[in-house]
């Protein structure tokens, strides 16, 4: 039974693999470790955790100024900080700048496209750009659970409830143990 379950999970995850990054230079171990710490705190949610995440992403960027994923993480943390009670006028321009820098370094960053889609949806009310960025994020990495959830938020804004439920279910299936994704069923 366990083997059958593992095969089913593997087939779902590998059926639509993410497109490889175009990054050509190696990532420094210390930068990667700081990036992982940033993602850890980012995933815990809340203003204090976003602040910690920002610090770690900035540390990763100080170590490797061409580390696109660190800029994408920084963009995520700034954007969500604005959504979770921060000051949007201060953090959203920083999020946009960090996402733009991530895309300058690696235009195949699903995370950076997703962040720009979320900003276009929630802050700019530019639904055309939001849809374009979210679809690009999902094209680059169909297994990006956050991108599916952000796309679901866009779908709510444009009144596509049935598609919203599909995207939420997809996000939950990609990260079934995350309390954040489990709670997203109320979207």
16 token code pair: 């639509």
| Whole-prediction pTM | 0.81
Residue 86 is predicted with a pLDDT of 77
> What is the per-residue burial (b if ≥16 Cβ within 10 Å, else e) of 85-99?
ebebeebbebbbebb
Long-range CB pairs of 172-179, under 8 A, 24+ apart, other chains included: 172/145, 173/12, 174/143, 174/144, 174/145, 174/148, 175/145, 178/43, 178/145
Is the pLDDT at 77 greater than 50? The verdict is yes
Q: Give the model confidence (pLDDT) of 12-25 as tens digits.
A: 554 444 445 455 66
pLDDT confidence bin for 88, thresholds 50/70/90: confident
Is the pLDDT at 26 greater than 60? The verdict is yes
Q: Give the model confidence (pLDDT) of 114-171 as tens digits.
A: 999 999 999 999 999 999 999 999 999 999 999 999 999 999 999 998 898 898 889 8
Is the pLDDT at 9 greater than 70? The verdict is no
Residue 74 is predicted with a pLDDT of 97
Q: Compute how many other C-beta atoms are within 10 angstroms of the C-beta atom of residue 139.
A: 15
CA 46 to chain CA centroid, nearest Å:
16
Lowest mean pLDDT among 12-21, 46-55, 172-181: 12-21
Summary mean pLDDT of the chain: 86
**Phi, psi of 23, deg, nearest 5:** -60, 135
**Over residues 107-120, mean pLDDT:** 95
Residue 15 is predicted with a pLDDT of 47
Give the Cα separation of 142 and 123 in Å (integer): 24
Residue 94 is predicted with a pLDDT of 96
């Amino acid at each position: 039974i366990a083997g059958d379950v593992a095969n089913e999970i593997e087939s779902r995850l590998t059926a639509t693999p993410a497109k490889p990054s175009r990054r050509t230079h190696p990532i420094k171990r210390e930068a990667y470790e700081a990036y992982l710490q940033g993602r850890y705190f980012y995933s815990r949610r809340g203003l204090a955790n976003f602040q910690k995440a920002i610090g770690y992403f900035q540390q990763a960027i100080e170590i490797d100024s061409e580390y696109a994923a660190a800029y994408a993480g920084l963009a995520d943390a700034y954007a969500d900080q604005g959504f979770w009670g921060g000051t949007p006028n201060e953090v959203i321009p920083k999020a946009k700048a960090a996402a733009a820098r991530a895309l300058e370094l690696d235009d195949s960053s699903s995370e950076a496209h997703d962040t720009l889609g979320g900003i276009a949806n929630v802050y700019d009310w530019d639904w055309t750009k939001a849809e374009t960025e979210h679809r690009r994020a999902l094209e680059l990495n169909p297994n990006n659970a956050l991108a599916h959830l952000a796309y679901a938020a866009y779908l709510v804004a444009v009144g596509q409830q049935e598609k919203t439920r599909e995207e939420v279910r997809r996000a939950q299936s990609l990260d079934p143990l995350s309390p954040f994704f489990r709670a997203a069923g109320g979207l």
